[in-house]
Structure 1
Amino acid sequence: MKQDARQAAFSHLLLSGTVVHEAVFEEMQETLGVFVRPNAVLVVSVDRYPDLALGKPLSWRIDIGRRVVESVQRALQEPFVWVWVAEGVLAVLIELRLEQPIATAYQQATDKIARRIQRYADQQAVSLSIGIGSYCDNPYLLQYAYEEAKESMIDRFFQGNRLIFHYERKNGTQPQWNDPLHPEERAELLARIRIGDRAGAVRLLKSILQKLANVYRRNVDMFKSEVIDLVTGISRGVIEAGADAAAILSENSRFIQDLYSTIRYDKFEQKVCDYVCRLAEQVEDANLSHVSPIIRQAIRYMQEHLQRAVSLCEVAQFCCVSAYHFSRLFKKEVGCSFVDYANRMRLRKALYYLEATDCTIQQVAHYAGFQDANYFSRIFKRYMHTTPTEYRKAKLC
């Protein structure tokens, strides 16, 4: 079904609200020759369209558009008009003749129509999700029903495909905001980035994303804002560790725009993890760029097991070399002994906790992988020539 230019203009004027600048509604109907009086708006969206369309030719886009429109046309017996409002997204304006009570009859009628559209789309091998705005018998206010239909679909971010969403008016009272993450969780993520623990950072990040998703399941915008704030903090930490500030800030801007336009949680999570992995690599590369693959493998193993005592023999065995050979090779390439490097790595993590959190010295020792606070304090003073408490005070001044 080809788009009729007059129906497209009619639909656009109603959905944009600009009909009020053109004419009285009945006069516009006469002028355009379109006599539908819509009181319902459905937003019909092709599931995972950005992923499906990636790399596809124009002919594919035309074909999938044809299949969506044919599905709508076959499903609807009521008077309607339609217009494309974005790639893969069709707005359908329907005139329903309803019995009382309106609210119940409207939900039943629109739900039935949406399911019919989905069934016909299934036959066309197209998966659709559909958002439904509130009943609106005033054509000059139909734009609000359209906005509601779009807003209703925001829940699709977490829930998946082939769904039907009815708009639900939100309670006017704003819930009190509480940070769902403990300061230690944020600190641990940033500390792992600081020491170049890419794998550990990504594992923790996935756990944090899932926690935020559970808290903000009904508020996608808040979820995205929290994650973007987290990514911004990570970027800042990478810059402080010596990475190229101009390159990271420029990439950050593009990445954040991309995140806000991402419509599925699984895709969102993958993008965030991939980006944070790239950021962590910049710290890791600075630390490991000059060492052999065996020593790089050893250091990554040490990073991943920093919370417990890891012996030289254990790491040598992991790298499939003798302890004697590994010890000599490590000192030659890194410039210090295995134990010395492990202490320095733990201290880099401890420094971040001392600078960025209010954790006690005992807690800092634990998070950095020292089994005893007294031992931590002795090691700290040996390398930093001051105590953890004095270091923290100096940083706060």
Structure 2
Amino acid sequence: MYKIMIVDDEYLERKALSIILKNRCSVKDIEIVGKVANGEEAIEIAKENEIDIIFIDIRMPKKDGLQAIKEIKSILPEARFVIMTAYDEFEYVQEALKLNIEEYLLKPVKPEKVNSVIEKIVEKIKKRREEEQVKEKLKEKLDMVLPYIKMSFVFDLIFLDIDTVEEIKNRTSFFNINDLPSAVMIADIDKFARRTVDQDEIERQLLKKKVFSIIKEFAVDYPSLMIVPMSSDKIIILYFGNQIYDNKHIKNWLRQIANKMVDNIKERTNFTIKIGIGSYYDDPKVVGRSYYEALGAIRNSFLLGERSVIHWEDVKNQDYEDLAYPYDIERKLLEKLKSNKTNQLLELIDTLFENWQIDDNFNSMLVKSRLLELLGVLSRSAVEAGANYKDVSPVNYKYTQQLFDINTIIDLKEWLYSLCIKLFKKINEVDEKFKEKIIYGGVKYINLNYTNDISLSEAAEVSNLSVHYFSRVFKKEMGCTFKEYITTLRIESAKRKLKNEDENISNIAKEVGYNNSGYFSRVFKEYEGISPSTYRNS
């Protein structure tokens, strides 16, 4: 529907134009929402209606057409104007052109001219509406993927060590953030796994989402915070800005915000949270340190009793400082779990304990808190590798209970080894038919897109699987790796195309997914034992 207003101080002109629009116009879905005699009345109508097209006389009492247009444009910036006058006056035309008027009609207006004007303007409005719909759909899509883009940025920043400040600036500009990241807080839901052990995964995720949504509200009031969920019970709060914020040192300001978050969660949910705060760094390339400090603050919060907000400086000088957490060994354990390899497992566990420098007088509570954290990380990795969460959750609960009753180094090592083996088994217990079903989507995606530059992660995403698990199941089900499968598809396609002697080999290379024809020839020869040209002539 297109809404039209007629503004003319002459009654007969308003009446005539109204009849033309209703009876002589080829565009039928129009509605006349106002017929007024002066600019002031037109402005009032414009305030109450979304008007698309306004036919307006130039010379009127009280407020002339050009003055009214200026004011209406501030109310309805997308409205289209057609000015009407009985005089072909150059000065008015010049002024109207400055206001981006659509048309200039001389009275008495002719039906065919009015129809032509309406058709032209409606076509422009249609185009604008279509563009707005496209933009809205793009915005909806962006709103859907924006959390994942933020997660990707935070992950790269903290774990993959982005090389340059320029790269960080480029990526933060996408989020309309001008400052650089400089400190990290981590919010951790207290005893979430234990308190939700009897609930199904949907219920668990809804509870997590509620906690996350409350914390995320702070990003609205404080644009210097980026808040993203981790693949666990933790939430990362990344601070962008300087060492002084709101006339406070950043350490004190972050404490203040963290305490507000803690209070909000306690008031609005049945859960409580702890928040660890890392140090401020003016070099954004090393802000990953702040993350590990925040994590360390949470892991060692038991040293400070019931406190819910812990800054790294609160705990870094405690007597556990020599017990540095060996993240590299943790990473190797995770790689073993995700790739389903049990070799060197005992050796890795021994190395882990050696790094902790544990002797007969070791701090039992400290080691157990670290092992509990490791249990959570390993369990989540097992789920990412394909294990059913409902099967892993009882394992989590059982091994948590066991840990409290263990008090020797040997038993702690055995506990960790037994946990890893149990998780390996849970990964492998996934039904074979289920594996075939979930891998099918990825295979179908590859078959449709092998001529493009697709990645393993894309195919895994289509199957809703982690990259590690998809890669492992794909190789088992298909009998080859992802790369080998794509190469085979491309070479077979090339062989079919080579039968057409009129088609250039360089073009064939591009058509099957190789931009470099030389590389294509090498791959082809490696697979077929002969070059593409020899194959064509054989």
Structure with the greater alpha carbon radius of gyration: 2
Give the TM-score taking structure 1 as reference length: 0.42
* Structure with the higher strand share, 1 or 2: 2
* Structure with the higher helix share, 1 or 2: 1
